[in-house]
Structure 1
Amino acid sequence: MNILFHFRTQGTGAEGVHIAGMAGAFRRLGHSVVFSSPSSIDPSATAGENPFLPRQRSLLARLAAHAPAVLFELLEIAYNALAGVRLGALLRREHFDLIYERHAFFLCITAFLAQRHRVPLVVEVNELAGDERVRADPWLLPLARLADRFTFQRARLIVVVSPHLQRRIEAMGIRKEKILVLPNAIDEETLHVLPDGTSIRRRYQCESAVVVGFAGWFVPWHRLDVLVAEFAALAPGKAELRLMLVGDGTLRVNLEAQASALGIRDRLILPGAVPHAEMPDYLAAMDICVIPHSNAYRSPIKLFEYMAGARAIVAPCTEPIALVLRDGENGLLFDPSNDGALRIQLAALVDSPAFRSRLGQQAREDVCQKHTWTQNARELLLRLG
């Protein structure tokens, strides 16, 4: 098939990893992919890049950060006209067998064009208005929901990353049979060789340490302050413990100040943002990989990267994560509403290398067998018939 892949994002960070992963999977299955986006980039080249670098931020991204909310939402609505011209030209010039779109608020022109040109539409949904999110709920929320319903009614298939999103879309009157739950995944090309963190541990002089780690962006919704506090409470009497936070973001200075105030700054390792291709080696340098916080609808991509590295994982017991991790078998889950629960699970792993190894090996086996982008692409195409 010839697939038109439309997205309205920067194509960096985790979203870029997701887009590049699905596009690569379609291609491995023998299909061709044409990207269409406001930035005209190929996420295969930008996936995982630092979205906080000013030189990489698009005009739309800068407006998102600084424009009044209503103005930004009006620009999102106006984007339908721009996308309509671009997508319409592509559909007239070239034959496409499928349109695959990453859902965005107020975006509905693709559904209109897919119906007009009689091309099946698959919509991938990662969030919906009304749930906890980075930006506040839209001021023009009724319009956002109207656009969602218009799009979902015309889609051949809706792919969601969590059962929560499935239930939300069903509540709009969309048939359950049109919705497919597919958690995020990993690029199978990265699974051929198990990464080695020896050189990273040597670089940061933690060869004999037990390294608790996190990889991602230093932003409020990841609740890294909780991880730092729980690590500090666990650290007394355990001189071998280190905390490695790989990434960058607006909260880096705050995290350093917090670590200093808690007396663990000398145990904190901050490599900064690293190229996505090097991330497996940094994860391999960690003995325990942590997701401090998630929510009811997100399927964290870092979870699958942790699993691919055969790491012992500690994560909150949200519904999307519990679809993938089985407590005590391929990871440890904790109740994020219970103070100290994260620390208890960390303690269970710090003192047991054999337990860490068993969890990590099972996690890697599970991600290889069940959670690759190619498996996801194959399943959605089978559902399409």
Structure 2
Amino acid sequence: MKLAYLSASTIPSRSANSIHVMKMCQAFGQLGMMTRLYVPDMPADALAAGESCHSRYGVARVFEIERVWWSKLFGRQYVSGFLAAQKAVRDGAQFALARCIPSACFAARAGLPVVFEYHQPISDSGRLSRLNELLFDGLITAPGFRGLVVITHALKAHFLERYPQLAERIFVAPDGADPFPADVQPVDLQAAGGRLQVGYVGHLFAGKGMEVVAQLCRQAPFADFHVVGGLERDIEQWKAELGGQPNIRFHGFVPHARTAAYIAAFDVVLLPNQKRITWHKAGGDIGQWTSPLKMFEYMSAGKPIVSSDLPVLREVLQDGRNALLCAPDDIPAWRAALERLNDQTLRTALGEQALMDFTAQYSWQRRAESILKRFSDND
């Protein structure tokens, strides 16, 4: 089957969205789908000499990438979405998974079977939310519309409250990760013997949890803290705020294909999401809907996780079973959790259970299989 993956992601970039898109295209390709990713031909991160988009993300060349015209004019995302849908139809696509509203709407109204995936409320899509709501209304009444994929049950409940007619067409598929590479060589953290090595991987913008890490490293002098990721300006801001704190190290941005080597080196990993996570300049909040990629990457590595105790994260994590959960703003509780994890037996038990849960449910390939099983039989 020819599958068109329609996305508005910048490829390559540092965004979690782009990682999700590339990993899902790989998963569909590995399942035997003739997969082509359509993305806007917009300014993107530079590739190193000899590097490709596929190698930047650590994915196999089992799918093609096609760039779609992108202008500097207002409304360019809608023009690009229309052109991507038009190209997919002309290329003979038999099925489409769309991550942007314009391309999903145009493709479905052209009769192409479309599954639309969205990770936040339509009303929270920035300054053009109202137009996107109108397009979504057009999408769900289009002849090609097959269903909606969301990443959490909380987000499903939100959509059902506003669109009860979708009751039989919404499917929850949490984010995922690749199986942890068996041959990965942990980075040398240059750690002092016996000290707990605690890692955080991800962005540093408001609500992702650097607020917790900054306080925790001061209150847990028995551990070394490692931060992997973040924009340069955010790293410099946190370095200045911490004022030379000796037990925290910022490793900077690391291409996604290399983050496994850092995760492998950590004794404990942190998922300190806050209740509110700001994700764009308009102030959109994804805190109550999110399904963090790093949660599944930590699980795939079999690492013990200390996580914020939030309803959306409890859809996957269970306190004392596959993670330790703490109130997002209770720093003494986070310190106590790290003290407990000085116990190697507890670290092993939590990590092994997390790995078993990941293997059973949360790989990218299982995710792709579940979406195809749910929707492709409806044609």
TM-score by length of 1: 0.81
Q: Does residue 146 of structure 2 align to residue 151 of structure 1?
A: no
Q: Give the corresponding residue for 1:285.
A: 265
Give 1:291 shift.
1.2
- Superposed CA deviations along residues 243-295 of structure 1, whole A, max 9, x for unmatched, are 111113132122212322xxx62211222222322211101111110011152
Distance 1:296 1:44 in 2: 31
Moved over 6 A (4+): none
Q: Give the corresponding residue for 1:314.
A: 306
Give 1:153 shift.
3.9
Q: Which runs of 5+ in 2 are unaligned?
A: 45-51, 60-68, 275-286
TM-score by length of 2: 0.82
Give 1:122 shift.
0.7
- Aligned pairs for 1:174-185 (under 5 A) are 174-185=165-176
Give 1:322 shift.
1.1
Q: 1:334 aligns with which of 326, 330, 333?
A: 326
Distance 1:334 1:194 in 2: 33
Distance 1:194 1:207 in 2: 24
- Aligned pairs for 1:185-196 (under 5 A) are 185-188=176-179, 191-193=180-182, 195-196=184-185
Distance 2:26 2:127 in 1: 36
Give 1:327 shift.
0.9
Q: Does residue 49 of structure 2 align to residue 47 of structure 1?
A: no
Q: Give the corresponding residue for 2:130.
A: 142
Give 1:143 shift.
2.2
Give 1:375 shift.
0.7
Q: Does residue 121 of structure 2 align to residue 128 of structure 1?
A: yes
- Superposed CA deviations along residues 144-178 of structure 1, whole A, max 9, x for unmatched, are 32223322443302110011221222123242210
Distance 1:139 1:82 in 2: 18
- Report the CA distance shift for 1:297/1:2 in structure 2 as closer, same or farther (over 3 A): same
- Report the CA distance shift for 1:43/1:149 in structure 2 as closer, same or farther (over 3 A): farther
Q: Does residue 252 of structure 2 align to residue 252 of structure 1?
A: no
Instruction: Say which SS state the counterpart of residue 346 (structure 1) adopts.
Output: helix
Give 1:27 shift.
1.2
- Superposed CA deviations along residues 301-330 of structure 1, whole A, max 9, x for unmatched, are 011111111111011122332121111111
Instruction: Say which SS state the counterpart of residue 251 (structure 1) adopts.
Output: helix
Distance 2:211 2:121 in 1: 26
The CA RMSD measured in Å over matched residues stands at 2.7
- Aligned pairs for 1:1-385 (under 5 A) are 1-11=1-11, 12-13=13-14, 14-39=16-41, 44-47=54-57, 75=74, 77-92=75-90, 94-103=91-100, 107-116=101-110, 118-130=111-123, 138-154=126-142, 155-173=145-163, 174-188=165-179, 191-193=180-182, 195-197=184-186, 199-201=187-189, 204-235=190-221, 238=222, 241-249=223-231, 250-260=233-243, 265-294=245-274, 295-338=287-330, 340-349=332-341, 351-384=342-375, 385=377
- Report the CA distance shift for 1:86/1:251 in structure 2 as closer, same or farther (over 3 A): closer
Q: Give the corresponding residue for 2:49.
A: none
- Report the CA distance shift for 1:345/1:60 in structure 2 as closer, same or farther (over 3 A): farther
Distance 1:144 1:90 in 2: 21
Which amino acid in structure 2 is aligned with residue 313 of structure 1?
Answer: I
Which amino acid in structure 1 is aligned with residue 322 of structure 2?
Answer: N
Larger helix proportion, structure 1 or 2? 1
- Report the CA distance shift for 1:130/1:319 in structure 2 as closer, same or farther (over 3 A): farther
Distance 2:229 2:203 in 1: 5
Instruction: Say which SS state the counterpart of residue 257 (structure 1) adopts.
Output: helix
Distance 1:208 1:60 in 2: 53
Distance 1:27 1:47 in 2: 15
Tell me how many residue pairs correspond in the alignment: 341
Tell me if the contact between 1:195 and 1:309 (Cα under 8 Å) persists in the aligned partners: no
- Report the CA distance shift for 1:81/1:254 in structure 2 as closer, same or farther (over 3 A): closer
- Report the CA distance shift for 1:366/1:175 in structure 2 as closer, same or farther (over 3 A): same
Instruction: Say which SS state the counterpart of residue 36 (structure 2) adopts.
Output: strand
